[in-house]
């Protein structure tokens, strides 16, 4: 019998979204602490703080690749589970979850082997210098060794949230984050492990999160359970998971590629100092995008469930609420970052040189940041409704087609230098965000209206 707990086709759409979005936003905040706390502590190491922070920043493209594969199977499988559950097909939903789990484990092992074998050339490609490479190497070696826990911790939590257990999903991340906050100062300072201590704390924390997830998904509280009988891969099912997850995967991979281009170009025009500034800029971005990620990801299960249940008006109401909240929030954040950039920089590093270079960089990079919310909202709607091709296209369009060429071209124009590199982001937010959201409105909206008329016999 189909389990009707967390039936998103009933009650207030806004209440349904917020019931997931609020704990998911808290989970986002807590999840950000994994990396942010590392950087805050590393930025305060008595010796080589800036080099250590820059070295960790050079590892971000590799971390983004790991996240990309977690998203490929997590963000690919979870919306499909929501749609199938909305149709009342819990058996297929469990098979989707089981196949996603196996794919995560297999891919995690492969990434560990390849990453450890190619770490040196990759880090130099990503903008490392002889001064920063040792710090990056120490961090990434331990991180890749525990990569399997990271994959499960990030990817499988989506299947808890997609069933409507937002608070449990939040607790998953809270468990790991608290462990990370406690272990970081012990390993980094008390045991004098530096960046290696930060990496070890992260891996142990992700192990605890992964264990918590597996305990829940194999227990009686879960609506959809992780079962060995669902582990057998089926080509058609895997293809659907990968196709829908390609959006989240592409976003993370393009983030990784873009970070490489940013770091390499900043190394050329500004040296290690500006690579360090970029690490801080990315760290601030992780913090300020957390609430909008929470609201868009919280809306996805609601949209997907109602789409599967043929409640198309509720899907439209979900899109409107998600988009409005995202735009208002990012507009307020833009004003805050523009007015007080030094406050955000000092969280991570108080070096006067970093502040001198970082303040104008922050103001340029985040100019007109509210346009980015249109990208988030458009992507989330496409993913929730299973329209993977649209979501993938706009991931590639903004990062690869717009950002990367601008990062390479602008610093050479009119003597812009590093300012031109940071200028690429607001330009891409405007063009990419407007294109993604506009396309969603002109394609998804009419389709939902037509389906509503058909389903009601109007």
Is residue 123 predicted with pLDDT exceeding 60?
yes
**Of all residues in the chain, what percent carry a pLDDT higher than 90?**
42
Question: pLDDT at position 436, please?
Answer: 93
**Of all residues in the chain, what percent carry a pLDDT higher than 70?**
94
pLDDT tens for each residue of 198-245: 899 989 999 999 999 999 999 988 888 999 999 999 999 999 999 888
- DSSP label at residue 280: H
pLDDT category at 6 given cuts 50, 70, 90 is: low
pLDDT tens for each residue of 318-349: 899 999 999 999 999 999 999 999 999 988 88
Rounded CA gap, 191 and 172, in Å? 27
Is residue 388 predicted with pLDDT exceeding 90?
no
Residues 6+ apart with CB under 8 A from 320: none
Cβ 124 vs Cβ 40: under 8 Å:
no
Is residue 256 predicted with pLDDT exceeding 90?
no
Question: pLDDT at position 333, please?
Answer: 92
Q: What is the mean pLDDT of residues 362-370?
A: 93
Neighbouring CB atoms inside 10 A of 451's CB total 14
Give the helix ranges, DSSP H, for 43-165. Answer: 49-58, 60-87, 90-125, 133-145, 147-155, 157-161
Rounded CA gap, 138 and 142, in Å? 7
Which residue carries 């909206």 as its tokens?
445
Rounded CA gap, 347 and 350, in Å? 8
Q: Is the dihedral of CA 328, 333, 336, 337 positive or negative?
A: negative
Cα-based distances in Å from 135 to 3, 282, 286, 353, 364: 50, 18, 22, 20, 29
Of 425 and 305, the structure prediction assigns the larger pLDDT to: 425
Rounded CA gap, 255 and 293, in Å? 15
Is residue 146 predicted with pLDDT exceeding 80?
yes
Question: pLDDT at position 17, please?
Answer: 75
Question: pLDDT at position 2, please?
Answer: 47
Can you give the C-alpha Rg of the chain in angstroms? 21
pLDDT tens for each residue of 50-93: 888 888 888 888 888 888 899 899 988 988 888 888 788 889 99
Q: What is the mean pLDDT of residues 349-355?
A: 88
Neighbouring CB atoms inside 10 A of 335's CB total 12
- DSSP label at residue 400: I
Q: What is the mean pLDDT of residues 255-265?
A: 88
> What is the token pair recorded at 17?
């979204």
Q: What is the mean pLDDT of residues 416-444?
A: 93
Which residue carries 């590629």 as its tokens?
257
Neighbouring CB atoms inside 10 A of 442's CB total 9
Q: Of 143, 116, 144, 134, nearest to 55 (Cα)?
A: 134
Question: pLDDT at position 103, please?
Answer: 96
Terminal CA-CA length for the chain? 32
Question: pLDDT at position 53, please?
Answer: 83
Is residue 458 predicted with pLDDT exceeding 50?
no
Rounded CA gap, 74 and 242, in Å? 10
Mean model confidence pLDDT for the chain: 87
Give the 3-state secondary structure of residue 271. Answer: coil
Is residue 107 predicted with pLDDT exceeding 50?
yes
Is residue 5 predicted with pLDDT exceeding 60?
no
């Amino acid at each position: 019998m189909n389990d009707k707990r967390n039936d998103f086709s009933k009650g207030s759409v806004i209440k349904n979204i917020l019931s997931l979005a609020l704990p998911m936003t808290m989970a986002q905040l807590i999840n950000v602490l994994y990396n942010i706390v590392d950087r805050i502590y590393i930025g305060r190491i008595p010796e080589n703080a800036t080099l250590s922070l820059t070295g960790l920043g050079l590892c971000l493209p590799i971390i983004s690749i790991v996240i990309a594969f977690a998203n490929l199977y997590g963000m690919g499988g979870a919306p499909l589970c929501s749609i199938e559950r909305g149709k009342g097909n819990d058996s297929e939903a469990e098979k989707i979850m089981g196949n996603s789990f196996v794919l995560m484990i297999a891919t995690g092992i492969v990434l560990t082997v390849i990453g450890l074998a190619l770490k040196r050339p990759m880090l130099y490609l990503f903008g490392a210098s002889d001064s920063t490479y040792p710090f990056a190497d120490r961090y990434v070696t331990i991180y890749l060794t525990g990569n399997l826990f990271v994959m499960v911790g990030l990817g499988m939590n989506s299947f808890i949230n997609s069933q409507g257990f937002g608070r449990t999903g939040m607790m998953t991340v809270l468990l790991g984050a608290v462990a990370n906050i406690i272990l970081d100062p012990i390993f980094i300072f008390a045991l004098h492990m530096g960046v290696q201590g930060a990496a070890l704390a992260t891996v142990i924390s992700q192990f605890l999160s992964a264990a918590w997830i597996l305990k829940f998904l194999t227990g009686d509280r879960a609506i959809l359970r992780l079962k060995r009988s669902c582990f057998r891969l089926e080509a058609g099912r895997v293809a659907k998971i990968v196709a829908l997850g390609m959006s989240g995967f592409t976003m993370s991979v393009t983030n990784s590629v873009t970070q490489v281009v940013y770091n390499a170009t900043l190394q050329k025009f500004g040296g290690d100092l500006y690579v360090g500034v970029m690490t801080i800029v990315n760290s601030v971005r992780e913090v300020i995008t957390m609430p909008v990620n929470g609201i868009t990801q919280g809306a996805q299960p609601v949209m997907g469930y109602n789409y599967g249940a043929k409640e198309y008006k509720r899907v439209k109401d979900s899109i409107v609420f998600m988009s409005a909240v995202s735009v208002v929030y990012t507009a307020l954040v833009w004003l805050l970052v523009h007015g007080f950039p030094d406050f955000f920089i000092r969280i991570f590093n108080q070096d006067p040189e970093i502040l001198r270079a970082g303040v104008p960089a922050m103001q340029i990079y985040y100019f007109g940041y509210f346009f980015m919310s249109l990208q988030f909202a458009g992507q989330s709607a496409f993913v929730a409704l299973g329209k993977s091709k649209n979501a993938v296209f706009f991931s590639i369009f903004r990062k690869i087609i717009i950002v990367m060429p601008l990062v390479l071209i602008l610093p050479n124009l009119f003597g812009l230098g590093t300012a031109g590199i940071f200028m690429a982001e607001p330009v891409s937010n405007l063009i990419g965000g407007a294109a993604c959201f506009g396309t969603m409105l002109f394609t998804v909206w009419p389709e939902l209206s037509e389906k509503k008329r058909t389903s009601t016999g109007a």
